[in-house]
Structure 1
Amino acid sequence: MSRLLTRLGYTAAVHPWRIIAGWVVALALTLALSATVGGSPHDDYTVAGSASQAGSDLLTERFGDTYATDARVVVRDPDGSLDPAVVDALSGRLAGLPHVVAVDPPRMSADGDTALLTVRYDVPVTDFTGSAAVDALRSATAPTEQAGLTVALGGQVPENFAPPSGVAELVGVLIALLILVFAFGSVVAAGLPMAVALVGLGVGSSLIALLAAVADVSTVAPTVAAMVGLGVGIDYALLLVTRFVEGLRAGLPVPDAAARANGTAGVSVVFAGTTVLVSLIGLRLADLSTYTTVGIATLLVVLSVMLTSITLVPALCGLVGRRVLGRRARRAPGADAAAGRPRAAEPGATATARWAHRVGRRPWPWALGALTLLLVLAAPVLGMRTWPQDAGSQPESNTTRIAYDLVADEFGPGANGPFLLAVDLTGTAGSAGQTVVSQLTERVAADPGVAAVAPPVLNPAGDAALIIVQPTTGPQDEATVELLHRLRAELPQTVRVTGLTAVFADISDRLADRLWVVIAFVVGVSLLLLTAAFRSVIVAVKAAAMNLLSVAAAYGVMVAIFQWGWGAELLGLPHAVAISSWVPILMFTILFGLSMDYQVFLLSRIREDYLATDDPRGSVVRGLAGTGRVITCAAAIMVAVFVGFGLDADPVVKMMGVGMAVAVLIDATVVRMVLVPATMSILGRANWWLPRWLDRVLPHLDTEGSDPRPVGSADPTGGDAASTHPAPAGVA
């Protein structure tokens, strides 16, 4: 791998315009194809095998598409007396909208100042494109608003639409650019990682649009993919440019510096990116199509930015040459050209080196302190409650939140999440069926958790009935879920409880069950990859354990912020909310892969030094000293990108952004800068223990990138261009 990437880096640096032209063509072609034949994201909320899905299927089979999806229009008269004629006129306009098959009779509040109209459509909510359905609702309600009445839109159709916003991405990009300028002291050097990441992101996003033309791609997938792709793209390019700058400062010619960067740091990029890809594949095990498409979409973007990093970075480095250095550095090149490699920082040479030396000198207190901090941060995760976010979590200015609050105030909190009881009356005809339905209605109404039961509706064939049940508590309340489980346990098998709240509960249960399967897969595969890559069982097990600790700590911080409400309002949320069911499993797969990025960057440099010096403790200090700055800078960029997404109005995207920013911050500081070097200093040579039988079985993966000598003099593209470090004594 190292030899191949060295050749690729040298060729790209010598012939930069060929590589640049190739990527420009690829970007233009994918953009053109996505604009002409690409599709739009389309959610698929089917939860195969769930009780709610069985109920929905029964309603569709027996009642047609009448209950496919709905919208709710809430009308309130500020003066306290709502004119029925105005409500009837609005109902007539709503009935004439596209795909509307029925408008339920208005439900009036007890004081007569508010009306609730339920609009029923004959297509699933996921079939609506863009804002067309919401715009139609607004056009129908415009005359009512002009009459001075308050109108708010709720239900599935308005809640499923989110206006596009590029603010999150823009904020992250600007902050990342400032960090890069500060880190390199050169606008040219700062622009290289940003340009490469944006090209990879552009190609990957176009591929997502092409995928959406032939398959259902979740509407949240492009946002999550952009979040991850932008962060890792900048990080990968940053690592390569940093190694290139080191080579130039050591006196290497530009092509050789680019080749060496690709042959060393490029190997780490490929391995780290592959780990992210494997983690994303684990989302398939969630057994929900939404997660499968999020994983595939993010995989496409990560793969694109990984390929642009190992090809476009050396090409751009070859094009700009020594201009990546600041003016002062260009006037004073490094003095290590004769050695053919950048000089490793000695303890005391830099702040990072002094820190590394301090941790290595007294590792036990640092290790115990870091472990204690992680456990304290992770403690709140024991009380984490997950629930898909609904309109009750939206900002108070949103029309869906206004509708949600009005319904709760005027009709009771349970009116925002009624249950639909689909009753199969096959074999029970005529009056016998009506008797069964009547008894069911009375039985359900007697439950203390039920506020009201609407009159049952029979289908024309008389072989099915629908009973709408309003709980006494809101959709996010734990008592509502308890009522759901109670009804399913006590009612006959011919009754299936469905509705949006029931679907949400089934999604939460499914994800909670599958989370452990995903964790086992991702951790297991990562252990195998790390063991093969670093020829060490101890390193692989420690890496997996530390990644689990950092993810758990991030979960704990999220619980404190969102579920406990410590800062929820500062983030634009109206109150404390449950953790979205989508977030934990999605965060785990992405974060476990991203954590491996820093693990590979750090361990590759430590192992590289260890193979050269046979000094287990000193290699940890020198490895941390050599990578601490780039890891810190990369983490700062990643945090900036994720914090930008934390500003998004959507609660799920907000949780993802904040949670991942916290996780990366913890991982790059407490874990990589303290816990990893401390434990490696404690274990010493035992870090690199590998049974001989396992060494023979595992494939050999060169992640440290056997440091190739300058390739420009003798054989630019092969031959004896790459050498392998001798294995130190004592390594099995």
Structure 2
Amino acid sequence: MNPLHRVGLATARHPWRTIAAWILVLVALGGLAATLGGELRDNWNVPDTRAQHGVDQLREHFPDAGGSSAQVVLHDDARLDAAVVDEVVAELEGSEHVTTVTPRLSEDGDTALLYVRYDVPTTDTDIYGIVDPLWEAAEPAEEAGYQVELGGELPGTATEIEGRGELIGILVALALLVIAFGSVVAAGLPIAVAVGGLVAGSSGVMLLAGLMDVSTSAPTIATMVGLGVGIDYALLIVTRHVARLRAGDTPVEAAARATATAGRSVVGAGLTVLVSLMGLRLAGLPTYDAFGFATAISVVCVMAAALTLVPALCALAGRRLMPRKVRRLDTSSPSGSDYSTTERGSSTTDDTWTARWVATVARKPVAWALVALTVLLALGAPALGMRTWPQDGGSDPKDSTTRAAYDLITDEFGPGANGPITLVADLDEVSPGEVEALHREVADLDEVASSTPVSTSPDGRLAVWDIEPTTSPIDEDTTVFLDELRADVLPDGVEATGYTPILGDISELLQERLWLVVGFVVLVSIVLLTVMFRSIVVPLKAAAMNLLSIAAAYGVLTLVFQHGWGSALLGVDHAIPVSSWVPILMFAVLFGLSMDYEVFLLSAVRDDWLDTGDAKGSVVRGIASTGRVISVAAAIMVAVFLGFATESAVVVKMLGVGLAVAVALDATVVRMILVPATMTLLGKWNWWLPGRSSAARQLDDELDVTPTPTH
């Protein structure tokens, strides 16, 4: 007996025991998370970069330096009262972890920029996301009627995820499932299972936080992916279970058979997602390690829930999973009737449009393949001009205090005041005279708006001063200026660091590492699929198609955010670069999710091929039989991702849009056109594996341990 069949049979025979076991697991995990779990904490160090080296030098030679910073902006229509500003400065200086407060007044005197420095990094749990002390210190200004806004590094961490994404995704998913199944019970079951898996995953993420730094954004990414795949995995098994009920099986046997067949696809799909997520470790940033591990924990938990809770709940629900009108009719065939005829026949009947469409594509595969390629390449073309950059306050929603502070600073002090650059000179390598000459040279550059005096560290080892570019941190001209400054102006022993250079180094590092992540994920996924399907052609083709759909999603993302096509609908009021955090994270998640649908679809095609030996006919029948479930699953996942696009955080918006577009393209252009066209063209070559004789292939097929519908 297949192991998955045994799991399904055991849980279906004892549903209450299974449910009780899950409750105990959830309680135990919750208790462990409460006692052994850690706090979420970001790690923003960028190892082996020039900006990070400068920060390390500051921390080593300047007491209380190299920490976080914040900007408190006071504004009024008339000239500010100096006494009020001084009172706010005094209050800020008395705040915990604050080392210095540097006030700066605009030329017309109606705006004060108070630059606050801390003795701990932004990610320190004592200050991360905590801005109440800044608001309290600014109370004298508010009492005087001044506008008070907070900007910079520390206030930027106070942005919260509202949680709309999860709620919107679940509600839309429920509506789609009710329409698809015609049964509230059947619709609610996949969602309940996915949520149960996510609860276990959340506890697992907190336990992970006790072992390593886990980004505060990691749970959001993990929830986004876990909710989507969890509903999909449960949906696949429930759909197969309902088909078995219609074939006349008892609820217990239907659950066991559904777990044995659909469960195999769930395991394969889950493994491909996990492989993709592990590729994030090659990104070179600790934050991505946390993203990968946290999301992997959620995927494992929802996969376990699908394989155990679904058969238990299906058996418990009995025939209530079918629409009421079907339950009223005694149309079920005798138990043990031919599953292939019943299920595939009903699927094909239910999906007559899909069957006719696939047959149409199969008649002219070359023409349709060219159409699909043209669409995907056209959508992907804008990605060639994609510019990436970590987001700053200028990308925040217009009604946020960080955006208001950013705009006030830009208007009153110039855009470069939002991201000053700190120059750090090692006096063991550069003489004081050379530092003075360099200070004058840099201040005279056309790209520099202002420069502070040089200060020396207490141990006499470092000389430090700040400059402000004439452009904002996110402006492409700032990136060009920083590159030229490092290459042509700064001598050995002098580093450029601070907010803007760190962002620039992050962007450059992630651009370089993207190709390493892509290579690893694609290679390992091909190996995994080769083992699963005993073919080299199918995995290579699947990888190529996934890359095409991801490239198209990158292109759409570039059009929407970088060129502003429809970005106002998402609450983004001006064009911005694509966040440099997005491409790698999006690729790792998308490649795994795209492989989900490939595994579901190809499993059905391969089963039919093994049954009939009809290479071309199996493509039509396999895609037709999976059409309805994959369409519903894709629609649910798109809804979940678009729900997250409604969040205020720009990076989450970008991920939501990019993931939704890629899944939609994968379920339509790829699955409905490119897959049937290419598989029809290749015929039996789809299942070719080098180095195996025809006799060996025949023996493998005869001994195939994968349950097929006729077994």
Deviations along 1:187-211, whole A, 9 cap, x unmatched?
A: 0001110011001000001110111
Counterpart CA distance in 1 for 2:168 and 2:142 is 36
1:554–1:660 Cα contact (<8 Å) kept: yes
Aligned to 1:474, which of 472, 475, 498? 472
1:12–1:311 Cα contact (<8 Å) kept: yes
2:38–2:209 Cα contact (<8 Å) kept: yes
Q: 1:130 to 1:682 in 2, by over 3 A?
A: farther
Q: Which residue of 2 aligns with 1:146?
A: 143
Counterpart CA distance in 2 for 1:347 and 1:192 is 25
Opposite residue 270 of structure 2, the aligned amino acid is G
Residue 674 of structure 1 and its aligned partner are, at CA, apart by 1.3
Aligned to 2:249, which of 252, 267, 270? 252
Q: Where does 1:270-309 land on structure 2 (aligned, <5 Å)?
A: 270-309=267-306
2:365–2:681 Cα contact (<8 Å) kept: yes
Opposite residue 559 of structure 1, the aligned amino acid is T
Deviations along 1:692-727, whole A, 9 cap, x unmatched?
A: 349989x98999942277xxxxxxxxxxxxx5xxxx
Q: Which residue of 2 aligns with 1:227?
A: 224
Moved more, 641-650 or 30-39: 30-39
Q: Which residue of 1 aligns with 2:618?
A: 619
Q: Which residue of 1 aligns with 2:439?
A: 441
For the aligned residues, what is the CA RMSD? Answer: 2.0
2:379–2:555 Cα contact (<8 Å) kept: yes
Residue 146 of structure 1 and its aligned partner are, at CA, apart by 1.9
Residue 25 of structure 1 and its aligned partner are, at CA, apart by 0.9
1:78–1:150 Cα contact (<8 Å) kept: no
Q: Which residue of 2 aligns with 1:715?
A: none
Q: Which residue of 1 aligns with 2:634?
A: 635
Residue 427 of structure 1 and its aligned partner are, at CA, apart by 6.9
Residue 659 of structure 1 and its aligned partner are, at CA, apart by 0.6
Counterpart CA distance in 2 for 1:129 and 1:360 is 62
Q: Which residue of 1 aligns with 2:324?
A: 327
Residue 686 of structure 1 and its aligned partner are, at CA, apart by 1.6
Q: Which residue of 1 aligns with 2:81?
A: 83
Counterpart CA distance in 2 for 1:460 and 1:510 is 33
Q: Which residue of 2 aligns with 1:464?
A: 462
Q: Which residue of 2 aligns with 1:128?
A: 125
Q: Which residue of 2 aligns with 1:8?
A: 7
Counterpart CA distance in 2 for 1:704 and 1:513 is 43
Residue 383 of structure 1 and its aligned partner are, at CA, apart by 0.3
Deviations along 1:361-403, whole A, 9 cap, x unmatched?
A: 3322221111110011101001000000110000111101111
Q: Which residue of 1 aligns with 2:384?
A: 382
Residue 458 of structure 1 and its aligned partner are, at CA, apart by 1.3
2:208–2:214 Cα contact (<8 Å) kept: yes
Q: Which residue of 2 aligns with 1:179?
A: 176
Q: Which residue of 1 aligns with 2:708?
A: 707
2:482–2:501 Cα contact (<8 Å) kept: yes
Unaligned runs of 5+ in 2: none
Opposite residue 558 of structure 2, the aligned amino acid is V
Residue 613 of structure 1 and its aligned partner are, at CA, apart by 0.6
Moved more, 20-29 or 623-632: 20-29
Residue 328 of structure 1 and its aligned partner are, at CA, apart by 1.7
Counterpart CA distance in 1 for 2:180 and 2:544 is 31
Residue 687 of structure 1 and its aligned partner are, at CA, apart by 1.3
Moved more, 32-41 or 669-678: 32-41
Q: Where does 1:614-693 land on structure 2 (aligned, <5 Å)?
A: 614-693=613-692
What is the aligned residue count?
A: 702
Opposite residue 535 of structure 2, the aligned amino acid is S
Counterpart CA distance in 1 for 2:670 and 2:100 is 58
Q: 1:216 to 1:179 in 2, by over 3 A?
A: same
Q: Which residue of 2 aligns with 1:545?
A: 544
1:267–1:703 Cα contact (<8 Å) kept: no
1:9–1:258 Cα contact (<8 Å) kept: yes
Deviations along 1:434-485, whole A, 9 cap, x unmatched?
A: x332211101112221111111111222221111011111111111111111
Q: Which residue of 2 aligns with 1:716?
A: none
Q: Say which SS state the counterpart of residue 467 (structure 1) adopts.
A: strand
Q: Say which SS state the counterpart of residue 423 (structure 2) adopts.
A: strand
Unaligned runs of 5+ in 1: 710-722, 724-732
1:408–1:416 Cα contact (<8 Å) kept: yes
1:533–1:703 Cα contact (<8 Å) kept: no
Opposite residue 84 of structure 2, the aligned amino acid is V
Residue 35 of structure 1 and its aligned partner are, at CA, apart by 3.2
Q: Which residue of 1 aligns with 2:98?
A: 100
Counterpart CA distance in 1 for 2:219 and 2:613 is 46
Deviations along 1:227-277, whole A, 9 cap, x unmatched?
A: 000000000000000000010011111121111111111000001000100
1:392–1:401 Cα contact (<8 Å) kept: yes
Q: Where does 1:408-423 land on structure 2 (aligned, <5 Å)?
A: 408-423=410-425
Q: 1:153 to 1:643 in 2, by over 3 A?
A: same
Q: 1:694 to 1:498 in 2, by over 3 A?
A: farther
Counterpart CA distance in 2 for 1:547 and 1:336 is 42
Counterpart CA distance in 1 for 2:355 and 2:393 is 50
Q: Which residue of 1 aligns with 2:448?
A: 450
Aligned to 1:372, which of 371, 374, 395? 374
Residue 347 of structure 1 and its aligned partner are, at CA, apart by 6.3
1:76–1:115 Cα contact (<8 Å) kept: yes
Opposite residue 296 of structure 2, the aligned amino acid is L
Share of identical aligned residues, percent? Answer: 55
Q: Say which SS state the counterpart of residue 214 (structure 1) adopts.
A: coil
**Within the alignment, does 1:218 sit opposite 2:219 as a pair?**
no
Opposite residue 476 of structure 1, the aligned amino acid is I
Q: Say which SS state the counterpart of residue 468 (structure 1) adopts.
A: strand
Residue 493 of structure 1 and its aligned partner are, at CA, apart by 1.1
Residue 408 of structure 1 and its aligned partner are, at CA, apart by 0.7
Opposite residue 254 of structure 1, the aligned amino acid is P
Counterpart CA distance in 2 for 1:485 and 1:31 is 49
Q: 1:195 to 1:529 in 2, by over 3 A?
A: same
2:87–2:140 Cα contact (<8 Å) kept: no
Q: Which residue of 2 aligns with 1:569?
A: 568
Residue 336 of structure 1 and its aligned partner are, at CA, apart by 6.8
